[in-house]
Structure formats: C-alpha cells, structure tokens
C-alpha cells in the first residue's frame, strides 16, 4: 500500500513493510494499537476531570511503534522507556486497570499510587519503567542488556527514547560502551519531531538520528513509525542482530504525537493543519483498518466488535481507577528500603 | 442518552477557566480529536478536543464566560447507543468498592480526592525518618568480634580488597566495574589482583564516562546483578549523581516495592593532599540526605572490610565513602571466615565520661588525637565512631550524651548542612534536658579547598579545633 512518508527524511527508510500478513496477526496489531489509543483518550478525559494530577504525557499517534516492536519480541525480552510510557506498558501486556489506577494515584495501581504516570514497573512483564529524567533510561537499558549478557541468556532489551533525549550526552556514553561490550540492546528513537515544543530542526543540524551510532560502529536505520508492519519488520531485523551477539542496533522511528507534550501544552509550536494532516494521511490505526477491510480480512461488524471490546476494557479500567482507594497513610513509609536478607 | 461534556482541567493547577470560544455549534457531528472549544487556563489558551463521537446537543455555557469551574457541564453530546454509559457523565461519588484488581489491594481508604482535590492527612503523628527506625532505644554495645578472636594488622586498602574478593567468591552476581579497576590494577590499587583472579567478565574496565557507566551499573542491578561501581574519586560521581539518586535510590519507592537496586558505589571521598578544590570534598552529608540510600564511611580497616561486605549484600543502593589518606594505614582486623559489621551500629572507640565526641571516617583520626590530648589535662572524652551516616545510630549518641551532657561533632565536610548540624538539631529535640552546653560542630572551613600548603592546612579540621571545642563545652 502506497503511503506518504511521515516526514521529508522518511525517504531514507530501509525496511519496507511486508505484505501478506496473516489475518490473526493483523487483527492483533489493530486491537493492540486501538487499546492504547482509547486508553490514552480516556486518560486525557480523566485528567480533564481532575482525577489524574501532575504530568500526563499521552502516546496518541505513536501506537505503531510499541505495538510493532512488541510483535518482534519474545518472552524474556526487556523494555524500558521515558515518561511517555502508558502505551509501552499496555503493549507489554500490563493490565489496563493497574496502569489507569496508577494514573489516578490509587492503591490498585502498579506502584500502589506512589509512582504516577511517569514511574511504573512490572518485573513480571519485563517492563523496567517509566523514567522521568530525559535520557536516563538509555544507560539503564544498556545495563539491563549488560545483565542478560553477563547471565548468558539471549534476551534483548528495547530501550526507547525520544528525539529530545537523543541529544543527551549520556546517550553517546552508552552507545560507546554498548558497542564496546556488544550489549544486546535495541535503541529505539521515537522521533515524533518535537522535544516538548522544540522541533528537531531547532535542536540540531544532525537530524538523522539513526546515523549517529555510526561513529561507534552501531548500525542503524530509519523506519516509518506510522506503519506497524514496517516497524515489526525492522524490529525483527534488529532483534536478530542483537541475539546473534553482534551488539546493539539503532532504530529511528519516524512518528508523530497528536496531542501536546503533556496535558498542559498549548501547542503553539506547530499548526493545527500539520496535526490534522498527519491524522488524516498517516494514522497508524486507520492504516491497518484499511488493510483489514480492503483485504477482506474483517467486516465492519468484526471491527465494531473489537471497538466495543476495547471500549469495555478501557471503561472498566477507568471505573477501577476511580473506585480503587487512595493508598493508606502507612504507605508513605514503606518501600524506601528493601529488607536485608543476608 | 446524552453525554455531558465537562469543563476540563488543562493544567496541574487549573481550577477554573474562561470558555473563550466555541468552535462547534449545536447539531454539529464531532469525532474524537475534533476541537470543540478554546479555553483559557491559568497558563495559556488551549484547544479542547472531543473524546467521544456524537452530535453536539446543547451548548450549556456561552462563549466568553469567565470563571467556569473545572467539571462544570459545558455542553451535551448525543452519542451512539453503545456510548451512552460513558464515563464522561459528571461524577457521582464513587460507587461500589473496587472489584479484585490486577494488583493486590491493601486497605480501603476514604476516597475523598475526587471532589475536593485534597489529599488526606498522610503523615502519621509520630513521623519517623525512614532510617531512624533502625535505631533502638538501647544502644547495641556488643563487640564487633568475639573476645579471643585472633587479629592481624592490615591496611584499609587490603581490607577493602579482601572484602570484594570474598564477596565475589561467595556470589557470582557480584562484579566490579569502574575506571582502571582491571588491567591498571586500580588507580589506588584497591582492586589489585582481582582481574587475574576473576577475569574480565567480573572486573570490568570502563571508559571515563561516569554518567554512562553509573547508569549501566544501575540497569544491571535492575536486571538482577549486584554491581560494585568504583568511582576513581567521589568528586567524579557528581557526573553520575542523577543515576545514584533518581535512578538507584528512588526506584524501589516509585515502583511500590517491585524494583530494588542492589548496588554499591564506592571510592575515595574527602580531601586528598594538595589536589585543590575539585578533587577535595566530603560528600557524606549530601548522600546522607537521600531516603533510599545507605551511606557508609569507615575509619578502621576492620570496619572497611566488615562494612563493605555488608554493603555488597545489602539489597539497597549503598554509598561507600573511603579516604585516600587512610588507604595505607594499618589496623587490627579479626581473622574470621566471614566477618561483617552491621549498618546503623556505632562503635565507642574510646570510652569517657566528660564529653561525647561524635565522628566518622577520617574525622575519627582528629577526634581520637584530641581525646588523647584532653586526657592529659584530665578531660575524659567518649569518642563515638558512627561508621554509617545513613542509618545513624541515634541510640548510641543519646546514651553517651545522657552520661556526659556535652557533645562535639567532628567531620571533614563543609559546615553548612553538615552531619553535625543534623545531630545538633536531633539532640536539641531529643536530649535538650540532658545538655549542659550547646553542641559544637567541628567541620571543614566554608571555603573551596585551596592548593597552597599553608592555606590547605587552614581549611581542614584539626585535632586542635576539636580540643578547643571540647574546652568550650566543658568550660575548662
């Protein structure tokens, strides 16, 4: 299917989207992306009602990145990201209820309400946060990969960061060591073109982030991050590189966030038309919907049933997140130190 | 069934706003993402998007209306049948108690926040610092090793090396990383021989990139390893302090107890000789301020060994502050198969009845020298070595001050916001009636460390400073 590139530099993309994807797989990709979209819309709504406080960074528009890469992962692989993390958690299989209840600061949240939107974790789902300091997750992700290599397994760590973090010094310290020690880490740059309100072009003269690993010997490629099939294909290639012991790999995902940087972003740094154009022409979910319909894989009723199912999950999570109690006062003093057991 | 569209909160501080402009009119069909209105918040003018699909029914608030409270219905939306029960309806009080969640729910608190935005009173009446709970009313005065145990003389450097080697033998997950720890055999020779013994998998030379390798160390700890991260000196750890504090110390709490970080950050701390301001600073008070960290600063070789072994086994991030001047000094170390020293247990290094001198790390050298001098004048000082400054053994300090009624603190760090400042405040709150004199803090001078030999000497604390302080508090 012919698709317009997400940005001018998109022409560099090297992993074309495959065709002939099985129906079940397409449906799962569609469903997983739709869950994130609807979850985030609901989170935005709850924020507007004052049920979610502080910072709340929505992932709407970027869903294809995490869903495509999760489709390339196996059990045991790890993932770590920044504070725009709700989509990553849902894609990793974490429960919508636990995520939403963390957003509302309730005991039923993944961090018992003590982490909030930006700080959630699940050892069970190998999700290592949820980090609030821009760029900090990059060496942390390499450290997770260091542990896997040390332990001698073949797990890979997906380390997500944005185009803003890509200008952080610690990213390049990490590139250097990750290649030096052949760490099995996929660096995923989610280039949504704006670091808060500063566009890539206003941040750097070196705008092709995937090429910045070259100085350290790390291969990289740019991917249409609005095309979940292209993302999956690129992810499989990167993961194979890492699992084979060849060290890290960089994927620059050309993507776009429809909403503001956080809920309190008046979005004066880009035009309404630019956002609308991306929504109309590049939307990742609509893309898969069209494939499903035009390929005869799914009827309108099939898709409506999925929509309904997703809406139920999201509404259930919102109900749970409102009804779950706040953490009891004693929780203020727990989880500061782990018990010594030696 | 119509959905009510509510006045949204569009910033963390917004309580009301101005409905500047409607961008839809009654009867318009809208879908998710369409802009409904422009709303002026306390910070900016924002576009307000639709979440649900449907047809705009009534506009309930006219454009230009100021002071519209958050959550006031501003319009109605006739949705499709399946959306009728959507949560956009104004909030009645939360209904039934929560069903079983994906995560364990402990306790049920009052759910008051929806309506008032106020958090319930969270602090228990007798709020204790997280590390204070370690202190017990009765100080633990037991000896560090059983009487009759053979001892041998060992330098602090050798003691640290033995501690690491023993723990690496004991636990495969323990490894050492840092600058020049391997092939160079350690910038201060602490890790001498460890590369030969354990190989490059477990003794990892890093590039000179503290920010990056500290983060990799923390990530490795998240991944189940037990890293010892050596900083060539703690001055350079300032490049890595974000990972020490934000990534290592806070994650257990932020994850609701799921994600601990078992890691030791160690290296020389404090003033070395004639290296000037950027290489001479004591960070004990900085790190001691952070809940989630444990902070150790040993003086003797026995403590260096026993405390480092405890640090490596501790499931929390531990800051282990060594001292270059002390590396070559020798002390008795017990000959035991597995000698450890617990955290939060101070040691009475010299008993006395006239004044309590509290110190740690190299401050102990000045404290003990002062006590010797004072003894010649008939003043018997009790010298307490804290050994760990987080947790602090308050019980030991209190018991001693109740006996001597006087206290002097000794440390090498800057005087503002020092450990001594904290102890003074703590004693004022907890031992006011026992004190016969104000507590005096002996600390380094409030200046960057100078290079010139004479000025450097003036900037550092000395035993003479301690003697003078003791004379003041004993009025002798």
Residues of A in contact with B46 (CB under 8 A): 264, 266-267
ipTM associated with this complex: 0.93
Beta-carbon contacts of A51 under 8 Å, excluding residues fewer than 6 positions away, are A104, A321, A322, B114
Query: E strands of chain A, at which residues?
Result: 78-81, 127-130, 157-162, 185-191, 194-195, 198-199, 220-224, 249-254
Supply the pLDDT for residue A342. Answer: 46
pLDDT (average), residues B252-265: 96
* Domain-embedded: residue A340: no
Supply the pLDDT for residue B128. Answer: 53
| Calpha distance B109→A320 (Å, rounded) | 14
Higher-pLDDT residue of A340 and A224 is A224
Query: E strands of B308-442, at which residues?
Result: 317-322, 330-334, 347-350, 355-359, 381-385, 388-390, 407-410, 440-442
How far, CA to CA in Å, does B54 sit from each of A46, A316, B35, B86, B418? 19, 21, 13, 12, 62
Which range is least confidently modeled, B54-58, B337-341, B418-422? B54-58
pLDDT (average), residues A183-197: 96
* Domain-embedded: residue A151: yes
| Calpha distance B114→B126 (Å, rounded) | 28
Supply the pLDDT for residue B44. Answer: 79
Does any CB of chain B come closer than 8 Å to the CB of residue A132?
Answer: yes
Supply the pLDDT for residue A2. Answer: 41
How far, CA to CA in Å, does B428 sit from each of B382, B386, B398, B435? 19, 19, 11, 8
Supply the pLDDT for residue B52. Answer: 79
* Domain-embedded: residue A51: yes
Which range is least confidently modeled, A121-125, B64-68, B79-83, B447-451? B79-83
Number of domains in chain A: 1
Q: Which of B53, B83, B211, B279 is catalytic?
A: B279
Mutate to test the interface with B, among A103, A131, A140, A153 (most CBs of B within 10 A): A140
Does any CB of chain B come closer than 8 Å to the CB of residue A43?
Answer: no
Instruction: For residue range A18-50, list pLDDT tens digits in order.
Output: 778 899 999 999 999 999 999 999 999 999 999
Does any CB of chain B come closer than 8 Å to the CB of residue A193?
Answer: no
| Calpha distance A129→A141 (Å, rounded) | 10
pLDDT (average), residues A178-197: 97
Instruction: Specify the fold of B146-334.
Output: Rossmann fold (3.40.50)
Task: State yes or no: pLDDT of B253 exceeds 50.
Answer: yes
* Domain-embedded: residue A339: no
CB-CB under 8 Å, A140 with B215: yes
Supply the pLDDT for residue B87. Answer: 40
pLDDT (average), residues B59-73: 91
Q: How confident is the model at residue A1 (pLDDT cuts 50, 70, 90)?
A: very low
Residue range(s) occupied by CATH 3.40.50.920 in chain B: 347-474
Residue range(s) occupied by CATH 3.40.50.970 in chain B: 146-334
- CATH code of the domain covering residue A132: 3.40.50.970
Both structure tokens of B241: 């302090």
Task: State yes or no: pLDDT of B32 exceeds 90.
Answer: no
Task: State yes or no: pLDDT of B1 exceeds 80.
Answer: no
Supply the pLDDT for residue B137. Answer: 57
Do B165 and B339 meet the contact criterion of CB atoms below 8 Å apart?
no
| Calpha distance A292→A304 (Å, rounded) | 13
Higher-pLDDT residue of B400 and B86 is B400
pLDDT (average), residues B242-264: 97
Known catalytic residue at B456: no
Q: How confident is the model at residue B31 (pLDDT cuts 50, 70, 90)?
A: confident
Q: What is the CATH number of domain B347-474?
A: 3.40.50.920
Supply the pLDDT for residue B84. Answer: 37
Does any CB of chain B come closer than 8 Å to the CB of residue A51?
Answer: yes
Supply the pLDDT for residue B473. Answer: 98
pLDDT (average), residues A168-186: 98
Higher-pLDDT residue of B80 and A175 is A175
| Calpha distance B125→B127 (Å, rounded) | 6
Mutate to test the interface with A, among B223, B318, B388 (most CBs of A within 10 A): B223
Mean pLDDT, all residues of chain A: 93
Instruction: For residue range B274-295, list pLDDT tens digits in order.
Output: 899 999 999 999 999 999 999 9
**What is the β-pairing status of strands A157-162 and B16-22?**
unpaired
Does any CB of chain B come closer than 8 Å to the CB of residue A42?
Answer: yes
Q: How confident is the model at residue A170 (pLDDT cuts 50, 70, 90)?
A: very high
Both structure tokens of B175: 């490894």
Task: State yes or no: pLDDT of B123 exceeds 80.
Answer: no
Higher-pLDDT residue of A112 and B88 is A112
Instruction: For residue range B85-119, list pLDDT tens digits in order.
Output: 344 444 433 333 333 434 433 333 333 333 333 34
Percentage helix, strand, coil, to 5, in chain B?
A: 30, 20, 50
Does any CB of chain B come closer than 8 Å to the CB of residue A76?
Answer: no
Q: How confident is the model at residue B139 (pLDDT cuts 50, 70, 90)?
A: confident
Q: What is the CATH number of domain B2-83?
A: 2.40.50.100
User: What is the phi/psi pair of residue A129, to 5°?
Assistant: 100, 155
User: What is the phi/psi pair of residue B75, to 5°?
Assistant: -165, 165
Instruction: For residue range A237-279, list pLDDT tens digits in order.
Output: 999 999 999 999 999 999 999 998 888 888 889 998 999 999 9
Q: Name the residue range of residue A59's domain.
A: 13-315
| Calpha distance A38→A313 (Å, rounded) | 9
Supply the pLDDT for residue B298. Answer: 98
Give the residue among B310, B429, B430, B344 at the shortest CA–CA distance from B130: B344
CB-CB under 8 Å, B103 with A109: yes
CB-CB under 8 Å, A324 with B313: no
Supply the pLDDT for residue B90. Answer: 42
């Amino acid at each position: 299917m012919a698709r317009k590139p997400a940005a001018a530099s998109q022409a560099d993309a090297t992993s074309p989207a495959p065709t002939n994807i099985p129906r079940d797989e397409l449906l799962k990709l569609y469903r997983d992306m739709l869950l994130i979209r609807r979850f985030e819309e609901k989170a935005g709504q709850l924020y507007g009602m004052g049920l979610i406080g502080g910072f709340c960074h929505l992932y709407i528009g970027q869903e294809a990145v995490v869903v495509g890469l999760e489709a390339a992962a196996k059990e045991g692989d790890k993932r770590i990201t920044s504070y725009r993390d709700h989509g990553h958690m849902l894609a990793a299989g974490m429960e919508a209820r636990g995520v939403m209840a963390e957003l509302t600061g309730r005991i039923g949240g993944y961090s018992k309400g003590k982490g909030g939107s930006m700080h959630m974790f699940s050892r069970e789902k190998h999700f290592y946060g949820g980090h609030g300091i821009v760029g900090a997750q990059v060496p942390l992700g390499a450290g997770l990969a260091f542990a896997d290599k040390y332990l001698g397994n073949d797990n890979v760590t997906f380390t997500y960061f944005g185009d803003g973090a890509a200008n952080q010094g610690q990213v390049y310290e990490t590139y250097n060591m990750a290649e030096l020690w052949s760490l099995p880490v996929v660096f995923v740059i989610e280039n949504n073109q704006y670091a808060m309100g500063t566009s890539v072009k206003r941040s750097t003269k070196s705008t092709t982030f995937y090429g910045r690993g070259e100085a350290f010997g790390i291969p990289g490629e740019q991917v249409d991050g609005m095309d979940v099939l292209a993302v999956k294909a690129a992810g499989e290639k990167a993961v194979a590189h890492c699992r084979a012991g060849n060290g890290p790999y960089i994927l620059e995902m050309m993507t776009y966030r429809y909403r503001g940087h956080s809920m309190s972003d008046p979005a004066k740094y880009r035009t309404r038309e630019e956002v609308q154009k991306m929504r109309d022409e590049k939307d990742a979910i609509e893309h898969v919907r069209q494939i499903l319909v035009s390929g005869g894989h799914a009827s309108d009723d099939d898709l409506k049933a999925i929509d309904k199912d997703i809406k139920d999950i999201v509404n259930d999570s919102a109900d749970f997140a409102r009804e779950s109690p706040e953490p009891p006062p004693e929780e203020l003093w727990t989880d500061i130190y782990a018990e010594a057991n030696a | 069934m119509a959905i009510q569209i509510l006045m949204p909160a569009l910033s963390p501080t917004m309580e009301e706003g101005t409905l500047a402009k409607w961008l839809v009119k009654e009867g318009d069909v809208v879908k998710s993402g369409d802009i409904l209105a422009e709303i002026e918040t306390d910070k900016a003018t924002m576009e307000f998007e639709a979440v649900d699909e449907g047809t705009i029914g009534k506009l309930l608030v006219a454009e230009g209306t100021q002071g519209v409270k958050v959550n006031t219905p501003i319009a109605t939306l006739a949705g499709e049948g399946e959306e009728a029960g959507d949560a956009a309806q104004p909030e009645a009080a939360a209904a039934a108690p929560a069903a079983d969640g994906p995560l364990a729910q402990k306790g049920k608190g009052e759910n008051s926040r929806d309506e008032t935005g106020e958090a319930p009173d969270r602090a228990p009446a007798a709020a204790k610092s997280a590390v204070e709970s370690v202190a017990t009313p009765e100080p633990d005065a037991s000896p560090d090793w059983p009487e009759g145990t053979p001892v041998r003389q060992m330098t602090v450097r050798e003691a640290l090396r033995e501690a690491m080697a023993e723990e690496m033998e004991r636990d495969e997950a323990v490894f050492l990383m840092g600058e020049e720890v391997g092939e160079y055999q350690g910038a201060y020779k602490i890790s001498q021989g460890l590369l030969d013994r354990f190989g490059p998998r477990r003794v990892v030379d890093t590039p000179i990139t503290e920010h990056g390798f500290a983060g990799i160390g923390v990530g490795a700890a998240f991944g189940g390893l037990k890293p010892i991260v050596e900083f060539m000196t703690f001055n350079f750890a300032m490049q890595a302090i974000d990972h020490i504090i934000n990534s290592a110390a806070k994650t257990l709490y932020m994850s609701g107890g799921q994600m601990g970080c078992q890691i030791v950050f160690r290296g020389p701390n404090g003033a070395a000789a004639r290296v000037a301001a950027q290489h001479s600073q004591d960070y004990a008070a900085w790190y001691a301020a952070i809940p989630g960290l444990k902070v150790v600063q040993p003086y003797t070789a026995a403590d260096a060994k026993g405390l480092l072994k405890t640090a490596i086994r501790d499931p929390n991030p531990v800051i282990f502050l060594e001292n270059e001047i002390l590396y070559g000094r020798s002390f008795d170390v017990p000959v035991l198969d597995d000698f450890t020293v617990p955290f939060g247990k101070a040691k009475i290094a010299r008993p006395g009845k006239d004044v309590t001198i509290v110190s740690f790390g190299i401050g102990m050298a000045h404290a003990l020298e002062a006590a010797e001098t004072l003894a010649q004048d008939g003043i018997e000082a009790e010298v307490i070595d804290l050994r760990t400054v987080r947790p602090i053994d308050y019980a030991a300090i209190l018991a001693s001050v109740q006996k001597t009624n006087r206290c002097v603190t000794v440390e090498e760090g800057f005087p503002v916001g020092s450990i001594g400042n904290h102890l003074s405040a703590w004693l004022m709150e907890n031992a006011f009636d026992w004190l016969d004199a104000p507590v005096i803090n002996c600390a380094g001078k409030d200046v960057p460390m100078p290079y010139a030999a004479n000025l450097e000497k003036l900037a550092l604390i000395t035993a003479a400073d301690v003697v003078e302080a003791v004379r003041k508090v004993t009025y002798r």
